[in-house]
Amino acid sequence: MPEFPQIKARDLAKYLLAIQGAMSHLKLQKLLYYVEAWHLALYDQALIPDDFKAWVHGPVCPDVWHMVKDLSILNGEIFIKEDKKDVVLSRGKKALSRDQIALIKDVLEEYGDKSAHHLEALTHSELPWIEARGNLPASQASSNRIKKSTMKKFYRERLQHGKKVA
């Protein structure tokens, strides 16, 4: 399998915002997670070097959380300014392969119209987040890492059972 380029989680988050438009921080985190999960499943390697943590509201990439924490509350919308969109899109297209761009498009087609709370519930029902949380109560804070190996295996098994990218 060919080596694919990696991109910083912050840059991928900006790229998702430029494509998808304004969304809540909660939704952005879940879309970022699903892009990474399906990239692992399909290409056997990470798209972003960052890990996700099993926070109360689902998977969170702390670096992206720090990037937007002052811009938004959990359900407030964040966005890329209109005059910056072309620059962000251009950088993303230069940093990513055609296959990676196609994967991002597929993930956004599958998950992009879902609400943030739907995506949160979905991640809460899936093994990677459940495993990382362990026996913690639902409302207890956690910095437990979601293992990329678990993500890869879980989503790859979904593909092998004929499930599409969702």
**What is the 3-state secondary structure of 132-164?**
HHCCCCCCCCCCCEECHHHHHHHHHHHHHCCCC
> What is the full per-residue pLDDT of the chain (166 aa) written as tens digits?
679 999 999 999 999 999 999 999 999 999 999 999 999 999 999 999 999 999 999 999 999 999 887 765 656 788 898 899 999 999 999 999 999 999 999 999 999 999 999 999 999 999 999 999 999 998 999 999 999 999 999 999 998 887 666 5
Q: What domain range includes position 91?
A: 9-160
Number of domains in the chain: 1
- Look at residue 126 and tell me if it is in a domain: yes
- Look at residue 38 and tell me if it is in a domain: yes
Contact 126, 147 (CB under 8 A): no
- Look at residue 108 and tell me if it is in a domain: yes
